[in-house]
Every structure is written in structure tokens, then in C-alpha cells.
Structure 1
Amino acid sequence: MSRGFSDLTQRFFDAEADPVALPAGVVPSYIRDHRKRLRSRFLQGGAAALPDYELLEMVLFAALPRGDVKPLAHKLLKTFGDFNAVLAAPLPRLLALDGVGEAVACHLKVTEAAAARMMRARVLNRPVLSGWEALLDYCHTAMAHSSVEQFRVLYLDRKNVLIADEEQARGTVDHVPVYPREVVKRALELDASAFILVHNHPSGDPTPSDADITMTLKIEEAARALGLVLHDHLIIGREREVSFRAGGWL
């Protein structure tokens, strides 16, 4: 290297071997090139063109604009299992992971919230029974990877249009308290004619328990007494769902 090169120029040449040597705020060229290649592949082929760790890298770009995010993407996937599980991971568990600060955790949770809101928009104020697949997609996005049980009620009007999606209760890893009186009371407040129950099993197995069946029958009985219709009860697992109507429990 000739003496005509400045110290700063020399540090740029050494950056790939020692990125720390770069001045603050300067992104090493190999990181810039890698990010550019990922963006190009995503724009040309969409999410299908990228494996989970690369798609996760792209999510992390905005939170960590100057660093190499590949190691962190791999660490997140190894810790939580898959892309969806990373986004759905509880905030305290994310923040406890080395390398995940508030910026990264916030960006992951915002991405999760955006995905759920987009899916919700596909079903809200639309006929539910004729858009069943969209409803299942929304339920899986919102609940399949939650670490605790959630119990939601989807309230429908006389034309089976979804008018409200409400979380009635949130519990532990294997139990959530549900009160039939509150479910039907809320239906009357909303002037709903029917509803669908939805809850998740954090274990991943959507097979209904005896308690699930008993609770569902109590809610159906309370609904019938007030002229309301319980269309179904869906249990959301990690990879699939169970319908009480299809399974013969309703």
C-alpha cells in the first residue's frame, strides 16, 4: 500500500477483515452488498425466494441498519423454532436474548402486529361463512404461536358478517377462564345474531379437551336460550385447527 493513501482509506480496505475498524456510521461494503442482494431477490421472487433466516434478516435491517444481522437471525430461529414463532415470541423472552435490544424487539413485534392487522382486515365486515379460509388464516396468524391460551369470540350479524372480533380472556399455557354469561351478554350488547368461538392450544395440538367440550356446550345452551346461534368453536394448533362442528361436538 503506498504512503499516498490516507489512514481512513486504509481502514476502508481493511473493513471486511475488521469491520470494527470502520468509522462510526459507516457500513462495510460486504454488508451493503449482501443487503442489496437480498432486497433484489425479494423484489424479484417475493418471500418464496428467501429461506426463513434471510427473510428474518430483512426484517432486522431497519432495526440494525449498520450491522451484520445474519448471526442474530440464526440465533432467533434456533431459540424459537421458526419465522412465525420468532415474531410471536413474548417480549420478555426476546429481550432476554443476547443481541436483542429494544429496537430489535420492537421491530419484530410491530411486524407481527402488522401481519395480524392485515389478515384481520380480510375478514372484518365481510361474510364469514363464505370466506372461511381467510378466517382460518387470520386465526392462525393471530394465535397459533402464542405461548399462552387466548379465547376470542367472533360476533356476526344476521347476514353472518363479522362485526366484532374480541379477546374475551387470556390465561396460562394450558388454561383460560371463560364465562358463558359474559359471551352471550356481549353478543346482545353488539346486537349480534351469531358467533364463533376461537381459542388456541400453546402445546400445538388442537385436540379438544373434556373441559373444552363441556365449556362449549354450556355456551351453546346459553346462546340457544337467547335466540343466538353458535356456528362453531375452532381450536387453533401450531400446524392445523380443529372445528367442533366438523368433529361432531356441535
Structure 2
Amino acid sequence: MAKISFTASRAHVAQGALVELERRYGRCDAVEADFIVALGGDGFMLHTLHDTQHLDTPVYGMNRGTVGFLMNAYAAEGLIERLEAAEEEVITPLAMRAITADGAKHDALAINEVSLLRAGPQVAKLRISVDGRVRMEELVADGALVSTPAGSTAYNYSAHGPIVPVGSEVLALTAMSAFRPRRWRGALLPSTAEVRFDVLQPDKRPVMAEADSRSSVRNAVTVIIRSEPRLRHRILFDPGHGLEERLIREQFV
């Protein structure tokens, strides 16, 4: 019988599901498991993927939260059969290095996106370079983000960025409420690109950098973002409900 490690968010409904599933299928440490089952919403799924990134164990999410874009429908029955029939999607994270005014370097990984947000009353001013070449001398906006295809329906989509097909090896660079250049919403870049943001007037216009809304760095002056192909996350979906299908379906809601 397959060994399953269950993990759940703090939500009451998720904790109840955890008790029921461990009663049915047993309890196993993640290091020894064949599958990891995450119970919660998308935020908890990202949390689980980050926490288990040192393992090569596939993660199957069941929705006991709100959005559930990365999750499968919840059912206590037939879990072994669902896991064995599941389709696997492999995604690679983004690596962020944020440098603050005192020269400190802060490294973090993001599965969905790395975002730069104004941290004061005035809009941010950013210089954008791609692979060492300045592409925009000054972006005046509330912020900007770089998104993976898997994360393109999350914060990126809310900021009016494009939905990027899985497997396209493309990153989305999206501006948030751009003031200058007027209505500029961003660009599509190859996944191999290294994107650098330099914060202009950081004392007057402070900026915060975030990786998946988990790792926050205040007073960032330089943020460098690139794909990290040496790491991979294996996510399982029920047949016919994989990430590619979900990305397509999202565009016709």
C-alpha cells in the first residue's frame, strides 16, 4: 500500500479532513512517503511545496480552503486510486536575491511570483534590466512582478498580466498600476532571462520585495530574479484537470 504523508492548514475543515484521512490511510513521515497530500487552499499548497522542496516526492492537494486553483476536489474515499491515476506537472521556482541599502543580501525562492511593491505613500521608480541590458530606464508604478507560468493566474492575473501556458518556458513581467510609461503592463521574457530591478530614489520611494508573499524584504535597492532549474516541484492533478487545462479554462471564465 502506498505510504502517504498528510499535512493540513490550521483551518477547522482542513484539520477535520486530516483526522479522517489519517484514520483511513495511516500516518507517515514526509521523508518516507510515496506521496504528500496537502489539505487547504492555494496558499497552504505553496507553503507545502516550499517546505518539501528538498524532497523529490509528488504533492497532491485537496481543497479544504477557498480558491483551490492548485488543488483537487476533496473526497476521503478512493484516495489511493486517485493518487495512482493522477497526472504530474513539474514546475521550477524563481530565485530572488534582494539587496538592501546596507548591502545585505536576502535570497528566497518563489513558485508563483516575485513582486516589488511600493512601501510608502509615493509611487515606486524602478529601472529594469534584462540579461545585463537596461530595457527601461524608469518605470513609475505601484510596483512590478515577475511570474512563472504556474503563477500567472494568481497575483499576475489580478494585475492584468497575461496567463502563460505551462511548458512555454516564458516568464511574465507585469507592472502594477503603471503611471509612466502610461498603460505599460509589461513583457514576456524567456525563462532563462535574468531580470534586475534597481530602485530609484529608495530613501524617498521605498520598495519592498516579496517571494510568493512569504519572504518579505523591506528597503530593497536591487532585486535580481531568475529561474532556478536545479529545483523542481512535482504536483499531481486528477486526470483531465491538470494545470494546463486549468490555465486554459481560467481564460474563459
TM-score when scaled to structure 1?
0.30
More helix by percentage:
1
More strand by percentage:
2
Larger of the two Rg values belongs to structure: 1
